[in-house]
Each structure stands twice: as C-alpha cells, then as structure tokens.
C-alpha cells in the first residue's frame, strides 16, 4: 500500500521532472525561486519520504513534526542569505535537515555540491547509510538517480550537478573544483591539516558562485572558546527558539537552568517561566506541538543565520528522559560534559579559569605612605596555620579602592592560648599619615577558626568580640553568598560568622584584574619592610576556578601556599558582615 501511494505521488509530479530534464539538456541554469517557486520546506513536505535506516517515523515527511526546522530551511534559499549555522543538540532532526537540502538540490536546484564530514570513513558511511536510503525511498529522487545510472558511493552525478562526499583528512580534495553549495556536518570534529583549516578551504571553493553560493554548517558544540560551531554561531544572527508561556503568553526559551525535578523522578519535571515564574510540565509547554514557536535573532544585520537549540525542544526525547540522563551522568565529568554538549547543545567550560599573573601584580608595586590619605577603613585578617599566624592589613577608600598596608608572619606554638595574646599588639596597631599626622585604628579584625586550633581561637576571640574581633568559618561552593550571617557556636563561646569563600575569592580576583587606578583597584607598596615580596603575590594568586569531576565549579590550588588569597577573601567577607559597602565608604571622612 505504501509503495502504491508513493507511486501515485510520483505520477502527479512527473510532468515537472520531465520539464527539468529538458531544461538541463539545454544547459539552462535553473533558479527555483524564479521558475518553480519551491524552497526546501515545500519540496520536503511535497516529495520527501523518511527511510527506516535513519528515522523512527518512516513515511511522508512533515515539517510540522519539527517546526523549529522550518525557518532554517527557508533561510537557506532566501536571497541575501549566505548560509546557516546549526548549533543543535541531538534528537532534533538536524540530519534530516541536511538530507532535505540534498534532495532539493538533486531535484530542484541542481549544482555542484560537496558534503563534508570529519573523516573520509564518515563521509562514506553518510553516503551509504543516510543519502542512499533517501534516494531509494523518495520516488522523485529515485527516478532522477536511476536515469543518471551512477552507483558510486563518494561521487554521485545527476543532471546539472553532482554530490561529492569528502572527509577533512585529505585537504587537497577540499580545495580543487568550484562548488555551488557546501554542506558541512559535525564541524567541531573537523581535522586541521598542514594545508589549513577545512572550513577556510571550503569557503574558497564557494567563491566562484558568489551570491548564489550557499554554506550549511552544523555541529554538536564541544569546548567553550574552542568550538568551531560556537564560533560560527556567535558570528551569525544568533537565533534562539522561543515558545509562548502557557500562563502569561510571553515568548521564552527552553532552559535547563529553569528546570525543576526530583532525583527519584516520582514527579514530572517542570520548567518555570522567567516572566510569571509559573511552573508547568512538558505536555503543557508543548500542548500546541510548538507550532506557535518562533526564532528570535540577536543580530539580523548578519548574512549568516545561526540557530541554537537544546534537546528540551525535541519531540522524541522527553524531559523525564533528559533528567534521567543527567542524574546518571552528573557524577562523571566526561559523561557530564557529553550531556552538556549533546543534550543541552551547550559548550563545556573545560576549565573556568579566573587566573591572575603574580609577576604583573609584583611589578606594579608603588611608593605610598604608611596611611594613604584616601584610606578610610583598615581591616586586619589573620589566618591560623600549623605553626604560625599569617596576617595582612588592608585599607579601603571610596569605590572600594584598596591599599595593602602590611603583611606579617609570626611563628609560635599555637597550641598555647597564652601565645595568642601577642596578636593584641597587632589588633591595636595605629597607622599614621606622615604628612598630615592623621591617625587611623584598625576598624575590624577577622580570624579564621577552621584550622587545627579552633578551641584556642574561640578562647582568644570570645573576650575581644566587643573590640570588633570576629571569628569566621568558610563555606565552600560557587554561588554561596559572601556573607551568610552569624550564629553562636555550639559551645556558646563566640558568634561565628559564615563566609562564602568561593564567591569572595571571585570578588578578590575581579578587583585584582582591574589595571587602572580607579574604583576597586588594588594598590601594593614597594617598601620591602611591608612584606609584599614575590612569594606573597604567588600566594595571592595561588588558585584557579575549575570544574571538578562532579561537574561542580571549584577553586583549586596551583601552588601550595594560598594564605594571601584566603586573607583577602576574609577581608572582603568581613566588610559585608559589618556593613561597610560603597555608600558607607563614601560617607566616611
């Protein structure tokens, strides 16, 4: 029955095919937009049949099954458009988009065409496993290719053009004859050879056809900043698929960040609307099969149209299945990376570096007074190590501009509480401006209590809390607020302040990265007696922000000693805790 229907469809369009053959024999260049007015979408819905080898839904193709693919196919043939770049996740119909373009070329817009895969083997497999079944099961194509009597795997001719299947390993095959259309698949896996970048070579082959040339690029994204498909997308119109919220009607994107789910999957996953904050399950969001969805582009001045979409939009991959995959992969770094790339359609931050060069900071030291005139507040931070105290004074002025005032290390037996009393002279230190005589006390002291000597720290801090001596406990985890309040310890000896050190370290690095003397800039003294030597700056920049094996962003040491960074983080935290922000600094005299 199916074969009979396919034959009937073919008979209806036989006259058009005969007309095409006549035009081709006379070497008349066909322009489908002017003659038959049939773009890829109309051709696909009219003629295309899906094969069992490449699709779970065999039979007549219908663009409404994947409405988000309608615009990319339409733009591919639109005048003034150079091509399209698809940064899509798996299970979205990307391969069928490419196949539809191939069928349209053979039947309607005949021209020299090259299909480029990462390797010669993959190019051959694509020809055998995806294109050959389409040519067999789509009657209009079967008839055309039968007439050409060409069974070659990597080079198929048809009246008016040909298909050349190439891998990127042999650059000489990418840089020879001119082509009118280039279809490049999985470009993040392309191999760069001595002859150069494959995409550059392909673009050169399109130059002969000028404005009639078309470039199709697709790929699953890989590493952030190194992904070719990400680069192509960022240099395009940057389209994102939007659907109306079932509650407020505002158009929003599918977002993994707004997904809500339970780890036992007993409840259906939900996605919240960023406008009205209502949560709904997948069936509600997709009640209209996304037929009312639309692409919204960031830069329509570009002639390369770009499209980015995650599998959350897939009609075949349910949200529940996506969440299940995430839960299975989240504790394995490589599997989590693959989830971000193939399911979310996002690049992966292989290493989220926030790194500052210690030599640069060391070299920019400068001469200034013991108490710079701009300083309005002085904070002392003390880090407790196994056999020493590490401390630093930092002064702050308007706009959170800071001046390092002194670094000191004291070696002591810290197990003896009496030895801690030496800290009093540092807590009570006064700083003087040599020109004006202005004197400034230490406003607050912060001491880390999380080391080997917690009890001794509590005993020392307890009677001094009224002197603005604060004990702190650091909390890990990116996203934890810098200041998380304070509460009495279980023993009741002190009010312990909780600081999100990961967040605070990010603040420190942001300030260290400021290179001009303005708000937030960090000054360091040149005077050797102040203690700001090369080792200090190594300690200040001893960590980088990375993604660990659990897929979490963490701060990781690159050098053993990191007290400089810890102290600065404590100081930033205590400023938050005691309420000294930009406005307070501005009001101070």
- Domains of the chain, residue spans: 2-26+33-238+298-309, 358-587
pLDDT in tens, 48-91: 999 887 666 788 999 999 999 999 999 999 989 999 999 999 88
The whole-angstrom separation of Cα 272 and Cα 285 is: 10
- Is residue 434 predicted with pLDDT exceeding 80? yes
- pLDDT classification of 474: cutoffs 50, 70, 90: confident
Per-residue tokens: 234: 């960022």
- Give the Å distances, CA to CA, from 500 to 359, 482, 486, 493, 581: 28, 4, 12, 22, 17
Residues 6+ apart with CB under 8 A from 435: 369, 373
Structural contact between residues 524 and 364, judged by C-beta atoms closer than 8 angstroms? yes
3-state secondary structure of 553: strand
Higher-confidence position of 469 and 330 = 469
Statement: residue 291 has pLDDT above 90: yes
Note the pLDDT tens digit of each residue in 181-208: 999 999 998 887 777 788 988 998 898 8
Taking only Cα atoms into account, the Rg of the chain, rounded to an integer number of angstroms, comes to: 33
Cα dihedral across residues 61, 64, 67, 72: positive or negative: positive
Q: Has residue 541 got a pLDDT over 90? A: yes
241 pLDDT higher than 90: yes
Q: Which of the residue ranges 36-45, 326-335, 382-391, 457-466 would you say has the lowest mean pLDDT?
A: 326-335
Q: What CATH topology corresponds to 2-26+33-238+298-309?
A: Rossmann fold (3.40.50)
Q: What is the pLDDT of residue 18?
A: 46
Where do the H-state alpha helices sit in 257-346?
282-285, 319-329, 333-338
Task: Output the CA torsion 299→305→306→310 (10° steps).
Answer: 110
Q: DSSP character for 248?
A: T
| pLDDT above 80 for 330 | no
Second-level CATH architecture of 358-587? 2-Layer Sandwich (3.30)
Give one DSSP letter per residue of 492-544, joined into a string: SSSEEEEEEHHHHHHHHHHHHT--SSSTT-EE-B--GGG---HHHHHHHT-EE
Angle at 439 between CA 433 and CA 443, to 5 degrees: 120
């Amino acid at each position: 029955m199916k074969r009979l229907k396919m034959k009937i469809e073919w008979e209806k369009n036989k006259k058009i095919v005969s007309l095409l053959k006549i035009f081709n024999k006379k070497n008349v260049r066909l322009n489908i937009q002017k003659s038959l007015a049939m773009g890829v979408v109309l051709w696909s819905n009219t003629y295309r049949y899906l094969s069992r080898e490449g699709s779970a839904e065999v039979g007549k193709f219908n663009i409404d099954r994947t409405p988000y693919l309608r615009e990319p196919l339409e733009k591919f043939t639109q005048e003034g458009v150079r091509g399209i770049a698809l940064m899509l996740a798996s299970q979205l119909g990307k391969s069928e988009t490419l196949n539809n373009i191939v069928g349209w070329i053979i039947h309607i817009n005949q021209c020299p065409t090259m299909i480029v895969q990462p390797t010669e083997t993959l190019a051959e497999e694509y020809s055998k496993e995806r294109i050959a079944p389409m040519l067999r099961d789509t009657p209009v194509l079967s008839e055309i290719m039968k007439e050409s009597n060409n069974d070659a795997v990597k080079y198929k001719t048809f009246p008016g053009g040909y298909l050349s299947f190439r891998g990127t390993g042999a650059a000489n095959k990418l840089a020879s004859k001119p082509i009118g259309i280039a279809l490049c698949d999985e470009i993040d896996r392309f191999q760069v050879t001595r002859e150069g970048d494959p995409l550059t070579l392909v673009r050169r082959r399109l130059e002969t056809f000028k404005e009639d040339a078309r470039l199709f690029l697709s790929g699953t994204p890989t590493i952030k900043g190194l992904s070719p498909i990400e680069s192509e997308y960022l240099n395009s119109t940057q389209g994102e698929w939007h659907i109306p919220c079932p509650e407020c009607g505002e158009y929003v994107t599918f977002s993994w960040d707004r997904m809500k789910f339970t780890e036992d999957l007993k409840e259906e996953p939900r996605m919240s609307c960023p406008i009205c904050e209502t949560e709904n399950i997948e069936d509600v969001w997709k009640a209209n099969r996304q037929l009312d969805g639309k692409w919204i582009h960031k830069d329509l001045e570009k002639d390369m149209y770009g499209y980015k979409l995650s599998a959350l939009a897939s009609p075949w991959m349910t949200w529940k299945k996506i969440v299940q995959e995430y839960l299975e992969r989240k504790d394995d770094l490589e599997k989590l990376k693959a989830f971000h790339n193939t399911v979310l359609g996002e690049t992966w931050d292989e290493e989220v570096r926030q790194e500052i060069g210690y030599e640069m900071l060391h070299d920019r030291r400068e001469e200034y007074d013991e108490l710079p005139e701009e300083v309005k507040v002085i904070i002392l931070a003390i880090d407790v190590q196994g056999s020493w105290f590490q401390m630093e004074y930092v002064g702050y002025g308007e706009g959170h501009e800071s001046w390092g005032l002194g670094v000191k290390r004291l070696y002591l037996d810290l197990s003896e509480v009496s030895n801690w009393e030496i800290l009093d002279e540092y807590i009570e230190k006064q700083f003087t401006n040599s020109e004006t005589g202005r004197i400034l006390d230490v406003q607050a002291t912060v001491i880390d209590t999380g080391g080997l000597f917690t009890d001794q720290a509590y005993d020392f801090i307890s009677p001094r809390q009224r002197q603005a001596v604060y004990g702190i406990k650091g909390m890990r985890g990116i996203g934890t607020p810098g200041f998380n309040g304070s509460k009495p310890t279980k023993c009741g000896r002190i009010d312990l302040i909780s600081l999100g050190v990961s967040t605070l370290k990010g603040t420190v690095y942001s300030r260290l990265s400021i290179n001009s003397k303005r708000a937030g800039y960090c000054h360091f003294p040149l005077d050797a007696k102040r203690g700001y030597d090369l080792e200090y700056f190594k300690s200040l920049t001893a960590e980088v922000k990375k993604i660990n094996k659990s897929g979490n962003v963490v701060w990781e040491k690159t050098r053993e000693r990191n007290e400089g960074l810890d102290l600065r983080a404590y100081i930033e935290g205590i400023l938050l805790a005691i309420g000294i922000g930009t406005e307070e600094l501005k009001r101070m005299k």
